[in-house]
Amino acid sequence: MAKTLMKGSEAIAEAAIRAGARYFFGYPITPQTEIPEYMSARMPEVGGCFLQAESEVAAINMIYGAAGTGARAITSSSSPGISLKQEGISYCAGARLPAVILNVMRGGPGLGNIQASQGDYFQAVKGGGNGDYHLLTYAPSSVQEAIDIMMYAYDKAEQYRIPVLFIADGIIAQMMEPVEMPDFVDFKIDPEKKPWACTGWKPGDDPEKRGVINSIYISTEELAAHNDVLQAMYKEVVANEQQWEYYNCENAEFIITAFGTVARIAKSAINELKEQGINVGLVRPITVWPFPYDAVSKAVNAESVKAVLDVELNEGQMLQDVKLAVNGTKPVDFYGHCGSQMPTTDEIVTKIISMKEGK
């Protein structure tokens, strides 16, 4: 298939449409406004619906409404807007609605800035909204990877009945890359596959098939039972859906952990260090929930590895999960900046050299 040069945000939007998304609800915010803009032009062409909501709060609740009918719905935003969506995200998780949410992260806290950031890692994987829930959370490091994941994101969301979140730093949305765009999948709402959805029900029909999209379970027993169902599902996701990439881990003296764009910079640093005779490996989580603890631990616990360096475009968030994975077996160092100051190849090289020199 021929590759075409596409801007990240537009490529991701197109992939969502090809994956069957026909309902987009969103609100403008930099650096992801190209997604709603693209959707506003593209959805009418494919018989879909683009609606500019009055706020991110409304947009995520429109997702709740659309996903509850069994349709494939999508919303996108950037950090402050994703904060506003947290209420609705928690409700979607509680009501077990499959949907896709995109966060093109910018610097924070608060209004922060509009540059690329990875500052919402905690929000994405450690909660965000209220209650015991998780989102199947992908952190693509290239436009192509974002497209490829999008093509099965709805299948996963529907299989487990879990909302899927993409966290991408602003760079991935803003850069142009040559990509291969997959074919359209054939998606139609199938009431048989989604007996829980509001697809039309009348008195006399199977009561089990009445759509009741709900997250309230007022009795202690019922809520406990509901959470048991959720926890059992999360266990399955943890068992089946972890994804990561190993790069140059064999005989590595140091292991770098990084996700998203930062992992690409780390790869350049690793290549440069190799030329200088220092062998460094990379573990790049592709799913950040479920976090690939065992994969990190396995790479780090190889005999050759002296220490671990976690690099992020924030002040050290995934660092906590890396430390849990390493569990004290090796020293873990951190290098990173808050939003907008992307760590450079040189900085990572220098940091590894200083670690090697025991500084």
Partner 1 sequence: MSVVFEKTKLLTDKTFHYCPGCNHGIIHRLVAESIDELIKEGVIEEGKVIGVAPVGCSVFAYDYFNCDMYEAAHGRAPAVATGAKRVVGNDALVFTYQGDGDLASIGTAEIVHAAHRGEKICTIFVNNAIYGMTGGQMAPTTLVGQKTTTSPYGRDEAWCGAPIRVSEMLATIPGSYYIERCAVNNNANINKTKRAIKKAFTYQMQGKGFCLIEVLSTCPTNWGLSPVEAMKWLEENMIPYYPLGVKKDKEAE
List residues binding partner 1 (CB under 8 A): 23, 25, 49, 51, 53-55, 57-59, 61-69, 71, 73, 87-88, 91, 95, 189, 198-203, 205, 210-216, 218
Q: To 10 degrees, the CA torsion angle through 75, 81, 85, 87?
A: 180
Find the helix or strand (DSSP H, E) in which 54 lies.
none
* Residue 326 beta carbon to partner 1: minimum distance, rounded to whole angstroms: 39
Q: In whole angstroms, what is the distance from residue 149 CA to residue 153 CA?
A: 6
Task: Name which of 175 and 198 has its Cβ closer to partner 1.
Answer: 198
* Residue 158 beta carbon to partner 1: minimum distance, rounded to whole angstroms: 15
Task: Name which of 66 and 168 has its Cβ closer to partner 1.
Answer: 66
* Residue 81 beta carbon to partner 1: minimum distance, rounded to whole angstroms: 14
Q: In whole angstroms, what is the distance from residue 75 CA to residue 138 CA?
A: 15
Find the helix or strand (DSSP H, E) in which 352 lies.
helix 345-356
Q: In whole angstroms, what is the distance from residue 200 CA to residue 123 CA?
A: 36
Q: In whole angstroms, what is the distance from residue 63 CA to residue 268 CA?
A: 39
Q: Tokens 């989580």 map to which residue?
A: 285
Q: In whole angstroms, what is the distance from residue 80 CA to residue 103 CA?
A: 10
Q: In whole angstroms, what is the distance from residue 71 CA to residue 5 CA?
A: 30
Task: Name which of 185 and 212 has its Cβ closer to partner 1.
Answer: 212
Task: Name which of 45 and 357 has its Cβ closer to partner 1.
Answer: 45
Task: Name which of 54 and 192 has its Cβ closer to partner 1.
Answer: 54
Task: Name which of 52 and 279 has its Cβ closer to partner 1.
Answer: 52
Q: Which two tokens stand for residue 336?
A: 């990173």
* Residue 49 beta carbon to partner 1: minimum distance, rounded to whole angstroms: 5
* Residue 221 beta carbon to partner 1: minimum distance, rounded to whole angstroms: 17
CA separation (Å) from 24 to 77, 160, 320, 349? Answer: 11, 22, 34, 42
CA separation (Å) from 293 to 118, 220, 258, 318, 333? Answer: 19, 33, 13, 11, 17
* Residue 190 beta carbon to partner 1: minimum distance, rounded to whole angstroms: 14
DSSP 227: H
Task: Name which of 157 and 309 has its Cβ closer to partner 1.
Answer: 157
* Residue 196 beta carbon to partner 1: minimum distance, rounded to whole angstroms: 10
